[in-house]
Structure 1
Amino acid sequence: MDRFYRTFCIRNWQPADRQTAADLIASVLTEYGLGCEPCGADQDVLNVEQAYWKTGGEFWVVEQADRLVGTAAFYPIARGNQAVEIRKMYLLPEVRGQGLGRFLLQALEATIVTQGYEEIWIETATVLKEAVQLYENSGYQPTTGVETARCDRVYVKRIRQH
């Protein structure tokens, strides 16, 4: 499934990536003053096999020069209509501002569409200004029903009509 964007390789997460991916996510959360919750909102990254693979979701990592620099994932959710939630879309500071986030979001959306889903949900925090701007510029509509304590925004995008 490897995808390439400039000097980045986006590939499926493997068990050997577990700690590095968890550390990357924790470092980005810390950078923005958000708490990492390994026993709560972030337990999925420590248990990708159960949280993503067994539910029909996917978890990707982004590599550059054999170093993990980002993550992106989605899995099916009960709310909404034939819906998934995009999760764990994090990039290290040194790789931001190159269009990688937009490329990742579009690649996730394309994969989600091919699997027959109708809606994509995303929870985020206002402090993640770049993410908020990306989602709003990509057709995501603000809605209600935040389920994650550190998040204060939730968005939905309908990708397929009945």
Structure 2
Amino acid sequence: MQSNYKDFLIRDWNQSDRLFAAAVISSVLAEYGLCWEPVGADRDVLEVENYYLATGGEFWVVESQGQIVGTAGYYPFHRGEKAVEVRKMYLLPQLRGLGLGKFLLQELEKAIAAKGFQQIWIETASVLVEAIKLYESSGYQPATGVETARCDRIYVKTL
């Protein structure tokens, strides 16, 4: 994957991105009072090869002037047939409100559909108000069955 949105480059993750992607995610979590969990909910970021690449998913980074400023990914998920979970969609504060999040979600949906998946699940936390607005305005419906301790909401969209 490689795409551009305004001055941002969205591309496939590579091994040299590991710590930079983790830093972006842990920074955004801290901003909202959520804990970074490297041996729990955030282990996938430190093991992208196992969680995303080896399972048929994808993990992307967003670059601005050579710096990683955002992340997004998805991988196949056990809920229903042909389902994926969108994970780790985070943007640093200065990038919010520019339409980048919406573009990123639309690009994820296109990639997911192109691989033949039919359902997209997203877990999130109520404090991530901007993310919730994005998901709801993009056709995601509230569901039940949150599995991540720091999350209290789950959404689903059928393609």
Alignment TM-score, normalising by the size of structure 1: 0.97
Question: Is 1:32–2:32 an aligned residue pair?
Answer: yes
Aligned to 1:81: 81
Matched letter for residue 74 of structure 1: Y
Residue of structure 2 equivalent to 1:135:
135
Q: Which string of whole-angstrom CA distances, capped at 9 and with x for unpartnered residues, describes residues 62-100 of structure 1?
A: 001001110000000111231000000000001111000
Whole-angstrom distance in 1 between the partners of 2:8 and 2:134? 19
Moved over 6 A (4+): none
Shift of 1:2: 1.0
Which SS does the other structure have where 1:62 is aligned? Answer: strand
* Structure 2: distance between partners of 1:57 and 1:41: 17
Code of the residue aligned with 1:101 in structure 2: it is G
d(CA) in 2 for partners of 1:115 and 1:52? 14
> Any stretches of 5+ residues in structure 2 without a counterpart?
none
Q: Which amino acid aligns with 2:13?
A: W
- Report matched runs for 1:1-162 at 5 Å: 1-159=1-159
For the aligned residue pairs, the C-alpha RMSD in angstroms reads: 0.5
Distance in 1 (CA, whole Å) between partners of 2:127 and 2:43 is 22
Query: For 1:3, what is the secondary structure of its paired residue?
Result: strand
Number of aligned residue pairs: give it: 159
In structure 2, distance between residues paired with 1:145 and 1:137: 21
Q: Percent identity?
A: 63
Give 5+ residue unaligned stretches, structure 1: none
